[in-house]
């Protein structure tokens, strides 16, 4: 149980970390790339929270239903964030190189 809770805390910490970097960034594509990374972290947080809820919290039909929604929503959110991350990565690299060459 402590491993799962630790993963939940780490996923939430990464979400906060990437959202903070998103707010502080001035580059357009980098913002989209960081947003995708924060989406992955948030999706993992919700997914792991749902798994934790199924395994260790109250076991009623309603809690199973809500946990299943969390797991599905978190998985979809992480998957979409990963696809966005892969899409924006080359553009973010190009934008960073262009920014470095201007300095």
**What are the boundaries of each domain within the chain?**
2-102
**pTM, two decimal places:** 0.89
Distance from chain centroid for Cα 92 = 18
Task: Identify which of 28, 24, 70, 32 has the alpha carbon closest to the alpha carbon of residue 51.
Answer: 70
pLDDT tens string 65-77: 999 999 999 999 9
Q: Using CB atoms within 10 Å of the CB of residue 91, give its burial: 0 to 12 exposed, 13 to 18 middle, 19+ buried.
A: middle
pLDDT tens string 4-15: 999 999 999 999
Mean pLDDT value of segment 32-52 = 96
What is the pLDDT at residue 1?
66
Per-residue pLDDT at 62 exceeds 80: yes
Per-residue pLDDT at 36 exceeds 70: yes
Distance from chain centroid for Cα 68 = 18
């Amino acid at each position: 149980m402590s491993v799962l809770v630790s993963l939940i805390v780490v996923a939430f910490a990464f979400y906060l970390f990437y959202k903070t970097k998103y707010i502080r960034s001035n580059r357009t594509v980098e913002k989209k790339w960081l947003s995708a990374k924060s989406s992955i972290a948030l999706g993992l947080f919700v997914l792991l929270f749902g798994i934790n809820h199924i395994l260790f919290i109250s076991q009623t039909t309603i809690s199973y239903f809500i946990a299943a929604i969390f797991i599905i929503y978190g998985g979809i959110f992480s998957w979409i964030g990963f696809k966005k991350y892969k899409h924006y990565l080359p553009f973010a690299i190009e934008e960073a190189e262009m920014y470095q060459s201007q300095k």
